[in-house]
Each structure stands twice: as structure tokens, then as C-alpha cells.
A and B are shown apart, each in its own frame.
Chain A
Amino acid sequence: MDKRINPFNELYLTETIGSTEFVRLFSPYILKNAEALFLPGNVVLQGVQGSGKSMLLNLLKPEVRLAYAQANERFPVSGRLSRFIGAGINLTRSRSIDFGQRPIDPNHPNDHNIVPLYFGDFLNYWIVFDVLKSVDLLGEGGRHLKLDVSPDASLDTLNTFAIALAQDDCWFGYLRDIRDYKSLKERLSSRITHYLTFLNFNSQYLDAAIAETKTSVGSPVSSVAEHLRKTGVIEEDVELFVRIDQYEELTRLEGLYKQLGPLYRQVVNKAVGLRDPHVSYRIGTRRYAWNADGLQFFGTTGQLEEDRNYKTIDLDEILRRKENAKTWVFPDFAGDVFRKRLAFSGYNCEGRNALLRDVLGKGMEPDDKARGYAGKAPVRAIKLDESWPVSWKGFLTNLAQTDPLSARLAEAWARQRSKASVTNTVPEPPYPWSRSYWRKERLDQALMQIASRCGQRMIWSGREEVLQLSGGNILVFVSLCQHIWGAWLRTVRDRLSDDTAIPIIEESVQSVGIHEASTHWYQKITEDARGDTRQRFVRYVGALLEKQMFDDLPLSYPGHNGFSLSLDDLEGDAVVAQLLNDSVAHGDLFDAPHTTKEKNRKPRRKWYLNPVLAPHFRLPHVRTKEPMYISLDEIRGWMREIGIAVGGPATTVRNRSNKGEALDPGQASLFGEDGRQS
């Protein structure tokens, strides 16, 4: 084992490794809430980049099924849930998205209207061919390994199946002369090759026989499922699950045929909308590509309906933290992934039940963090008001020497409305600002301010904080681990030998890695559609919230690391709604409904930066108390500031007082020099 290798170097490992390695690395924890994936019925598996969609869909592949059996490992699902065979298509790797790179019939006046028909036909042939590959794989290997879903792969049965399938009307005669299984596969393969040859500009025309036998999307897949059962190749209760992965690629088509993307989505929708009892589709898609605007069927005005046509498994929803931390599945999932990565790299993880905690520790206590920030000049942690009595100033100054966090909280206490009396009568311990909830709600804001006043970046470390910063996204978690491990490797590079002990990584080193990862995720925002605009918005909002929270001297608004807008306002401006929805769909912002504190009781929604961005923007990641309430005009003002054209009256972005009220325009520039370093 080479200890210099970072176990987290490859972020997308489960997408690139072979089936045998997949068995070693797959974490079953995510399955608890994804049972629908193994039950009959169509499923849309959605989540932001890196949420684990492809990893889950890979579980449906026959190669993976066989690899589990070969390794003598229990398949992650059993009983009724395991009675399936899987096949499918990855829209990128199959090159389906190459449709649109070339007109099929340049002389046809409405070529772009007929291209989706060919796209659907290609999907049919690819999927059917893949079903047969699954039958072969599971038939040959599965019987040998005694897999109970193994098809009957005897030549007679398969030939009977092939002849029956070929006679189905859905092929429009293209398979009419098929007499056995072998020639069926050859014919299917030949048609796929014809398509790819044409799309790659290696032939001048598409075969005329193809133009005359275009199949209707979904029909051949239904037919193959029906005949597999009828002819006894698979048992009646064995489900056929068809994966369609990277559906979001259909929203990214560029160039001449950019307008075809929505039509291709409609083609896929049509297959799903067939509600065929013989076939269940599993569509893997990023959040932004699956929305109400794109659910129409090709060629009709009908559209997919959730629960009627499909169920949704929202991985983001499953993996993000809810109010009840005990039901949060992500920590176990992440811990298992962590352990498997280390074991895969050669570390001995036997008997280590809490490996993530062993390596990252619990993280620093808030008081220790404050002391770390304050260093040798802890008085920097507090700001004294000139009007305060000397005795109170002296008390705070002394307290800061031993407990800068308590001193900062005491300072805030004295600044809060109706609590100023404390400055005249210095209390004895236990101090009122140490009361459980008051203190807990303000800890992170106080620490953020102390770090800033002392010229330090915030320290992030320990298992809990790494999990929280991951925001329920396994890719973010692995990325954080990658940078933390990288930072650690740099500190031991001269000492590396054959010592293969699992390390305990110092908090200060973890923090460096976490800051690197945070910046990396901030820079990644630009990678997707409208990323430049979204990144500008995130940058603007991040800087604005950081300033608001820093300037809040009484710590009255510890929840202002997020903002809230009424649904009325949100629905009142399509441009605002689109930017916010886009930012959420791409994972830049997290959103949630919340109960309003206002008398009008209007429903509201709140938004926070993705927690992994918090270190980059020097913001606390913990959500507590009320977010910052803003109006439609205010957010329009933000958007104007970053060059987005929005409606409404021209407004100036307003600073807020440390009481949370908007101040008059004419205040000092929002991002001007604020002299915040003492």
C-alpha cells in the first residue's frame, strides 16, 4: 500500500470502477429510503450532482448482480425486492445525444420534427439489445452462481422467444425474417451500428429500411418484456427494470438542434407514460432537468403525472438533514463510504466502528475555537462601548483573557434591548448569557465575529461539521475528505514510510482542507448552465449576509445567514423565481418552507447557501432562528446589482441596521471599507 495515495482522489469512483470493485465500495445505507427503486412501477431518481444516482442505478446492472454472487457477498436487497433483471441506457455513453448533430433528411422541410422519431427508435433498439445482453449475462453466469432470477438461457427457449418477438407488429416488419435468437441479436446490433455510423458522418444516408420501420418509443421494450415471460425465459414474477441515466443531458443539447432537447425529453416521457405492467423505467436525472415544464408526452398535450405515472425518489430530500437528527441517514451512509474508501486503499479498518470520528475527531469545542481565534491578544474578541461603566468594561476585558467567547456573548447581552442593566451590576456566575438556548443560538455568530475581529478564518473540523458541511451530498463529503486528506498528506510527506496506521488528523489541518474544498465548490458553480449568473448571485448574497451578520453587534439576528421571501412575492416575479429555483436545482442554495413570524401569516420560503460554501463566505453553516425577511423589491435590487434585468421599481440596495431594519439609502457603501479588523 502506498500511503501517499489519497483514498479520496477519485471522486466519482463508483461510476468508473468495474463490478468487482463496485461490490467493495457500494454503501447500502442509502437504500433504506429508496426501496421504490426495486418495486414495480416507474421511478424518477433525482438529485443534484453527486447525490448517488448513478451509484444506485448501477445496482440494477446484471454485471453488478453477478459480481455480488461471485464475491459471495449478499446482494443489498433481497426477497421480493431482488426479483428483477435490469437493462438500460446511459444517454451520454450510448451517444443518443448525438441525434441532432446532423439532419437525418436535409431535404425534408420539417426535419427537426422527424428526428425525435428516430431518437425514440434508437432508444428502443438500444434498450432491447441491452435487455438481451442482460439475459445472456444472467443466463450464463447466473445459473452457475445459482441466482434465483436467472433466465432460462437454453437455445430452444431463446429461439422460441426470438421468433415470437420478431413477429410482433411493433417492429413494422424489420425483424420479419428472424428465425433464431442469434440472428435477432445480430439484426438489432446492425441497426444500432447503422445509426452510429450515420451520426458519425461515416455514411451519407441512413438506411432506407430504417426510415420505413421506425418503432414507437417504448413499444418494443414492452414487447420484449411480454415475450420473455410468455416464452418462459424469465419467470412471471421477475420484473424488468429499464434504466435511463443522465436524462439531464437532454437539456444541454447545443448547436443546430438545440430545440430538440425538449422533444427528446418528451420522447422519453412517452415511454414512461405507457404505464406498461411488464416494464418499469428508472430515470436518473439531476433536479434541474425534471420540472413541471418538461413532462409533456411527445406528440400529445398529455403529460406525466407524479404517483400516477411515476414515483419520485429525491435523494437530496432523503439525505439532507431534517429537524429530527436521529432519522438522518446521511451520517451512517457517509461513515460507511469513508470506511470503504480507506479499506479499498489498503488501510486495515477491521474492528474500527467509528472510523470517521477516529480520524476527524469530535471537532473543537466552541470555547476552544474562540481561544484559538483570539490567540495572544484575546481582548480583540470584544468591542467596548464608550458609554459603558468602567467596572463593566474591566469585567469584559478580564473575562476575555480566560474565556473570549463568554466575553463576546456578554458584550452582546449588554447591547440587547432591555438587558443593558447588566452593565451597572456585574453579575456573578452562572452568567445570564450562558443560559442554554440564548447561548446555543448565538454561538456560531459569536464565533464568526470573534474570528473576524481577530483576523482569522473560521475553523472547521471534526466529524459533525464535515457531515453538516456536506449538506447530505456524498460527492461533497468525498470532496471534503479528499482535501482534508490531501492537506494531511502534505504535512507528513517527509515522514511517510511503511507506517500504514490510520491517521488522526489535526483540526488545524482539517480546517485548511475544508477551506480548499469550499473554494473548489464555489468555483464549480460556473460549470453548469447559467453558472456564471448563479455564481455572481451566490457571491453577492454570501458577501451581503456575511456583512449583516458581522455588523449585528447585539447578536440579535443569528439566523441571518439565510433569507426569506413570501410565496406571493416569489410568484410575482418570474425572473426572481427562476434564478432562485435554478440555484436550488443546481445545489448552490438550499431552500425550505417556514412558518412566518409576521401577523399576515403569509406562507414564506427561506434560502441558505449550500453549507459547503459557508467557509468560503465566512458564514456560519448552522441554521437557527429567523432568516432575514426580505421583500421582492429588495431581492430585485440584489439582482440588479449583479446585472440581471428585473422588473419593479428601481431600488437601491439597502443596508440593515443591527436591529435588522432596512436603513435609508445613503448609508455607506455595502461593501466599502468597514474596518472590521480590530
Chain B
Amino acid sequence: MSQPLEDKINAWIRDKGFGPLIQEVNGKVLLLEQELFEEYEPTRGPYPSFRTRLAAWLDNIVDESSQRSLFQLVPHLFFLGPRELEVLYRVAFHTQIARWLIDQIGLTFDQASPENALQQAVASSWFCPITDSMRINAFYHLNHISGRDFRPDWRSLRQFGSEGKIRRYLTDQGIDRIVLLEDFTGSGDQMKKAVEFAVPFGMPVLVVPLVICPIGAQVGQLLSSQNPTVTFSPVISLQEAGFITAVARPDEEPLFGELRLIAIDMFNGLPPDKQIDVYTAFGFRGTGSLVVMYTNCPDNTLPLVHHSSPAWKPLFPRASRL
């Protein structure tokens, strides 16, 4: 039987070399657990607590040094809880969207009743999610947007929608522009398809990912440069330094090097069918993200964080679509 988690962590803390660091990490993990991690939806209800999952997760590996590296990874995870996402919804509306609308309608400082003009612009815009991951209702409620009955995700529209019906709806509703939102964008594949579907409707399109990975940001910028009607404006663009990918960055911290090896070992230890599930040791398209949202863990995130199988116990098990 493995050593209880607290005994293990306490023993690490008592070590002269790495003890002070582990003590600091433990303090952060305890705080994050209390403030954020229990919000993770796929583990709400009858499911092992975060601390229990953490113990099992560390025990995926026998080597204690690697266990410590895994433990040190936890504060590096960018966990977006419900409050954080609410803030992002508001920021998106009041900065990215407001600025774009002001440009769109040519609003100037000396214009009479600029608030009314801006409200009109909001009323003639259609705010839709790119995928069903984005909780568009919450976005509408938090920003007090009303007057739009349908807010379909454009991934589904592209699959099942009728272009004719969409065009009719745009005309009937007096919609002048489309705003596409997404909570997390990894590689940008889904964003690209949705935008390419939206462009032919012939109106300005604003694409607002709340959080986007560098690879996705490149896709967004390309879409914008290739389509004059498309504006790409993410709220948070993650920096490459916050990713663990197959290739080491020259300035990356030593911990990431250790975690890279663990990620590769973990992937190599999975049976082939499970390897297919997680795409690569660094997740979908090798993104190597460290993002976890309270709603789910993206497949762009390191599989060692979310993958669940007899060969690996996850810290934040991913609720997969497939």
C-alpha cells in the first residue's frame, strides 16, 4: 500500500534541499483546492475529492522524484473557475466587443447620445458561441443582453443548419454583424471552420476567444488577414512559456523538462487504443496546454492531467465528447 498523501508531502517538506519549495507548493495547492479545484464539474457529485485524486495521480509514478515534479506542476495549472469565466464574459463584452462595435458604427466622442448608438449596435449584433462549450446564456445574462431568441453554436449550425434559413433569420432580425465567442481555443480548428462558415453571409464577423493558445492565435490572425470582414480579438492570449511541448524552449524552467519526460513516459505506457484517445503525449496537436476549466479539461491540455484509463489515474478527468 502506498504512503498516505499527507505523510508523503510532509516527508518532502522535511527535506533540507527541496523541503522549502515543496512547502511553498503545498501552500498554493491547498489554497487552490479550497478556492477553485472543488468547482471542477466532471468530478462534482459522488466522485473522489481533489485530495484523493491527487494522491492517486501522484501514485501513477513509482519514482518519488517524478512524483514531486508532478506535485509541483499543480500550481502551474491555469484553472478557470466559474468566477474567472464570469469576469472574462464581462471583459469580452466591455472591451473587445465594445471597441469593435464603436469602430463598426464609427462612434465619436462628440456624438450625441453615444450610449444609445452603442446599444443599437448591440441590438443589431448576433452573439453566438463557436461550440457548445461556451456558455452563451451566462454571457447574455451577465452582460444584460436581450432580444435574441436563438443563440446556436456555429459548429452545430455548420453541421446541421440551413444556409437559407440562417440568411432569412439574419434579415428578419435586422442583424448587421456576427460575434462568435469561445471559452477556450486550443489549436483553432473548430474556430476556423465556424468562421469560414460565417464569412459567406456577407457581414462583419468578430471572433472573441476568451482564452487562446499560441497555435490557435496564429490561426485566428491568419483568418483575419485573409478575410477583410473578420476581426480576431482574443481576451487572454496565453504565452508559449506556459506550455510543455515536445520541443524544449531555451528559457524554460527545469521543472518543465522533467515534466516533458514524464509526459512522454506516461504516453508510452498507454495501450495503443488509449494513445489514440489522447492524440500525443502533449495532447491534441501536441499543444501541451496547462489550462483546466471548471467545466472540463480541454484535450489540448497535457494528457497526464486529464487522461483516465486503467493505466493512468487523472487529476482532472476529462469528460470526452466521444
Contact = CB atoms under 8 A, between A and B. Distances in A.
Interface of A: 451-452, 454-457, 459, 487, 490-491, 493-494, 508-509, 511-512, 515-516, 519, 618, 677
Given A487-B10, A509-B10, A516-B23, A493 B51 contact: yes
- Central interface residue in B10, B17, B20, B52, by most chain A CB within 10 Å: B10
Interface string B25-66: 001001000000000000000000001100000000000000
A459 B4 contact: no
B7 interface: yes
B16 A618 contact: yes
B52 A494 contact: yes
Interface of B: 4, 6-7, 10-11, 13-17, 19-20, 23-24, 27, 30, 51-52
Contact of A457 (B4, B14, B24): B14
Contact of A515 (B4, B11, B13, B30): B13
A509 B10 CA distance: 7
Contacts of A487: 10
Contacts of A490: 6, 30
Contact of A491 (B7, B15, B16): B7
A491 B14 contact: no
A592 to B, nearest CB: 30
Nearest to A454: B16
Given A456-B16, A493-B51, A516 B27 contact: yes
Contact of B6 (A491, A516, A519, A618): A491
B70 to A, nearest CB: 18
Given A452-B16, A511-B14, 5 more contacts: A456-B14, A490-B6, A508-B10, A515-B23, A677-B17
Nearest to B6: A491
A487 B24 CA distance: 14
A2 to B, nearest CB: 15
A455 B6 contact: no
A8 to B, nearest CB: 16
Given A491-B4, A491-B7, A519-B23, A677 B16 contact: yes
The 8 closest A-B pairs by CB, nearest first: A491-B6, A512-B10, A457-B19, A455-B16, A490-B6, A512-B13, A457-B16, A457-B14
Contact of B15 (A455, A493, A519, A618): A455
A455 B10 CA distance: 15
5 contacts: A457-B16, A457-B19, A509-B10, A512-B13, A519-B23
Nearest to B17: A455
A305 B15 CA distance: 52
A512 B16 contact: no
A618 B4 CA distance: 27
Nearest to A489: B6
Contacts of B4: 491
Nearest to A455: B16
A623 to B, nearest CB: 23
Contacts, number: 49
A284 to B, nearest CB: 32
B17 to A, nearest CB: 6
A506 to B, nearest CB: 9
Contacts of B6: 490-491, 493
Contacts of A519: 20, 23-24
A390 to B, nearest CB: 31
A214 to B, nearest CB: 49
A148 to B, nearest CB: 50
A535 to B, nearest CB: 16
B27 A512 contact: no
Most chain B CB atoms below 10 A, which of A487, A493, A494, A512? A512
A618 B19 CA distance: 12
Contact of A512 (B14, B17, B24, B51): B14
A562 B43 CA distance: 53
Nearest to A520: B27
Contacts of B10: 487, 491, 508-509, 512
Contacts of A618: 16
Nearest to A459: B14
Nearest to B4: A491
B14 A508 contact: yes
A451 B16 CA distance: 8
A46 B80 CA distance: 47
Most buried by A among B4, B14, B20, B52: B14
Contacts of B30: 490
Contacts of B52: 494
A456 B15 contact: yes
Contacts of B20: 457, 515, 519
Contacts of A455: 15-17
Nearest to A519: B23
A486 B14 CA distance: 16
A372 to B, nearest CB: 9
Contacts of B13: 457, 512, 515
A494 B27 CA distance: 19
A162 to B, nearest CB: 55
A452 B13 CA distance: 14
Nearest to A488: B6
Contacts of A512: 10, 13-14, 23
A511 B13 CA distance: 9
A168 to B, nearest CB: 58
B236 to A, nearest CB: 29
A491 B3 CA distance: 12
A566 to B, nearest CB: 35
Contact of B19 (A454, A494, A515): A515
A465 to B, nearest CB: 15
A456 B52 CA distance: 27
Contacts of B23: 512, 515-516, 519
A626 B37 CA distance: 52
Contacts of A677: 16-17
A490 B4 CA distance: 11
Q: Which interface residue of B6, B30, B52 has the most chain A CB atoms within 10 A?
A: B6
A454 B6 CA distance: 22
A591 to B, nearest CB: 27
Nearest to B30: A490
Contacts of B24: 519
A457 B15 CA distance: 5
Contacts of A451: 16
Nearest to A509: B10
A639 B16 CA distance: 28
Contacts of B7: 491
A677 B16 CA distance: 9
Interface centre among A451, A454, A457, A459 (most CB of B within 10 A): A457
A491 B30 CA distance: 13
Contacts of A509: 10
A11 B19 CA distance: 26
B113 to A, nearest CB: 32
A487 B27 CA distance: 11
A487 B7 CA distance: 10
Contacts of B51: 493-494
A677 B19 CA distance: 14
A493 B54 CA distance: 14
Nearest to A372: B14
A515 B26 CA distance: 12
A671 to B, nearest CB: 16
A492 to B, nearest CB: 9
A508 B19 CA distance: 13
A158 B302 CA distance: 77
Contacts of B17: 455, 677
Nearest to B12: A512
A528 to B, nearest CB: 22
A454 B17 CA distance: 10
